[in-house]
Amino acid sequence: MTALIETDPSVMSRRRFTGLAAFTSAATLSLTQIGTARAAGRRDFVPAVVIGTGYGSAVTALRLGEAGITTTMLEMGRLWNKPGKDGKIFCSTLTPDSRSMWFNRRTKAPLDTFLWLNVVNRDIGTPYAGVLDRIDFPNMGVYVGRGVGGGSLVNGGMAPTPRRSYFEQVLPQVNADQMYKRYFPLANRMLGVTTIDPRYLERTPVYRYARVSRRHAHQAGFKTTVIPNVYDFRYLQCEERREVPRSALAGEVIYGNNHGKQSLDKTYLADAVGTGKVTIQTLTRVTAIRQDRSGYVLTLEKIDASGKLLQRSELGCRYLFLGAGSVGTTELLLRARETDALPNLSESIGTGWGTNGNVMTSRANHLWDPTGLLQSTIPTLAIDNWNDPVHPAFAEIAPLPIGLETWASLYLAITVNPERGRFSYNAAKDRADLNWGARQSNPSIASARALFDKINRVTGTTYRRDLFSGNREFAADFCYHPLGGCVLGKATDDYGRARGYRNLYVTDGSLIPGSIGVNPFVTITALAERNIARVIATDLRA
């Protein structure tokens, strides 16, 4: 059944099949190279390089491959395709091991306590190239995915398209007609976005938690909405009937899903490798970028999964695309500018960073409102208070899948927070530091408070203070949705071409100026589709 839903060849193109086969053989043979595309000529030069394998990168590599351009993708994380000793590729949130975190001895989950006890985070042994990273800055922890597929490996799969009016406000220079008629539908189709069957949503015990929160929101006069997802809800129904191995019903999500989710390695990246023109190098981190006469030269560090440095090398390219994510891309370009490797880069690099207004909170329900022992980790509903003129919020109803009845309703709210962070280059440590003051999170908290105070008032409930250390009602000191740092139209032109240099492009969430009003990966994907279509049409030679 697993194979039927996830890899049914009747619904799969030959190209995707070829790409998936390349992933499988790389995993079987423990290779750190997926695909065999080779450029003619020098071994240390390739026409195009794409840094990272997240959303922006995956789109870019596929379209480059289709255009016949030999492309190498460089990914600092590993390929997640081979089962470990327990027969599973990923570990669950309930029994995390070294696969969970990027070079850490302990997990760093966003909910850090339960009943005020320090029981959530666990020791996970020897540091390893795990799938989830938390980049800690003063007052802000940024969660990102590490591995082939970037954030798609660890995210909740929620795939909403932003409201058009807000999109137009955030990115006024982008033709919204073209985005909503062409690129958003294309992104949705390519990512495999689906919606839960409403009859299933209404009857299944695994979404009781969502229905309880929805009822409370409606009692308080708020609207709710169903959020599309890239998780296969038919698979979920089979999980519930125990016909297939469980994933969403086995507490799997932020440390990876073993089944059910259409992560990028199963969609865009498989298609990209399947073109025969794209190769992915894993466990390879780009540390520096400079220019030479034929284009750009990258300094690479190759590690093994235990973090041991195996090799330092250089790779040249004519066209360079940065898709290392908001923090990764910003750091690489900031370093290049500040070390005078690429001194003409825009002064705007490092600015316009935001959290998409992320804030997490939880409510304590009455004893007659249980949220369920068995909860799907894949969210499907949100409270939509976006039209509030003072405190707009779009709050995803999140699960708390710990296998016990908790009577807790959990939320990750996306709010409008006008505050922006700025990265500066720390020469002593050779890294980008984020300047974000604790108070800059307050507008997010105020919007979430306006929404949840009202729900608590009407339903006679209170906040749970036991889930976030420090007895807090709200946690806005971390984010899942880092956006900005190399903003479209400022650090780049209106199509992601870095200002000051030719053939240098930004293609990921760093283009979006800090906020998009919904979970961001569909927008990142659609924007990357739009930008690469223009770049291929006007800038590139095969």
Chain positions contacting ligand FAE, by CB under 6 A: 51-56, 74-77, 143-146, 150-151, 154-158, 254, 285-286, 323-326, 328, 332, 480-481, 508-509, 519-521, 524
Cβ 454 to ligand FAE shortest distance, Å = 25
- Whether 259 is catalytic is no
Q: How many CB atoms lie within 10 A of CB 313?
A: 12
Q: Which is nearer to ligand FAE, 32 or 461 (CB)?
A: 32
- Whether 396 is catalytic is yes
CB neighbour list of residue 261: distance below 8 Å, 6 or more residues apart = 152, 157, 230, 231, 232, 247, 378
What is the DSSP code string of 256-312? --SSSB--GGGTHHHHHHHTTSEEEE-SEEEEEEEEETTEEEEEEEEE-TT--EEEE
CB neighbour list of residue 17: distance below 8 Å, 6 or more residues apart = 9, 274
Residue 479 CA to residue 357 CA, distance in Å, equals 8
Cβ 79 to ligand FAE shortest distance, Å = 11
Contact 72, 296 (CB under 8 A): no
Q: Which is nearer to ligand FAE, 109 or 206 (CB)?
A: 109
Q: State the amino acid at position 251 in one-letter form.
A: G
Tokens of 337: 């500018």
Q: State the amino acid at position 335 in one-letter form.
A: R
Cβ 153 to ligand FAE shortest distance, Å = 8
Q: Which is nearer to ligand FAE, 247 or 326 (CB)?
A: 326
Q: State the amino acid at position 52 in one-letter form.
A: G
Residue 516 CA to residue 509 CA, distance in Å, equals 10
Cβ 301 to ligand FAE shortest distance, Å = 9
Residue 158 CA to residue 249 CA, distance in Å, equals 16
Q: Which is nearer to ligand FAE, 369 or 396 (CB)?
A: 396
Q: Could you tell me the CA-to-CA distances from 282 to 256, 303, 436 in Å, in that order?
A: 18, 9, 32
Residue 392 CA to residue 457 CA, distance in Å, equals 19
Cβ 322 to ligand FAE shortest distance, Å = 9
Strand partners, 213: none
Cβ 135 to ligand FAE shortest distance, Å = 10
Tokens of 205: 């015990």
Q: How many residues does the chain have?
A: 542
Cβ 150 to ligand FAE shortest distance, Å = 3
Cβ 321 to ligand FAE shortest distance, Å = 11
Q: Under DSSP, is residue 327 helix (H, G, I), strand (E, B) or coil? A: helix
Helices (H), 67-142: none
Q: Could you tell me the CA-to-CA distances from 218 to 4, 67, 133, 408 in Å, in that order?
A: 39, 50, 36, 17
Q: Which is nearer to ligand FAE, 53 or 385 (CB)?
A: 53
Helices (H), 171-257: 176-178, 184-191, 198-203, 208-219, 233-240
Residue 137 CA to residue 443 CA, distance in Å, equals 19
Cβ 146 to ligand FAE shortest distance, Å = 4
Question: What is the Rg, in whole angstroms, of the alpha carbon atoms belonging to the chain?
Answer: 22
Cβ 77 to ligand FAE shortest distance, Å = 4
Q: State the amino acid at position 169 in one-letter form.
A: Q
User: Could you say which of 338, 396, 473, 529 is catalytic?
Assistant: 396
CB neighbour list of residue 216: distance below 8 Å, 6 or more residues apart = 363, 365, 409, 455, 458, 459, 461
Q: Could you tell me the CA-to-CA distances from 314 to 35, 46, 296, 311 in Å, in that order?
A: 20, 11, 10, 10
User: Could you say which of 252, 331, 338, 481 is catalytic?
Assistant: 481
Q: Which is nearer to ligand FAE, 220 or 254 (CB)?
A: 254
Q: Which is nearer to ligand FAE, 162 or 295 (CB)?
A: 162
List the one residue out of 38, 129, 143, 20 whose CA is nearest residue 76.
129
Residues designated as active site: 396, 481
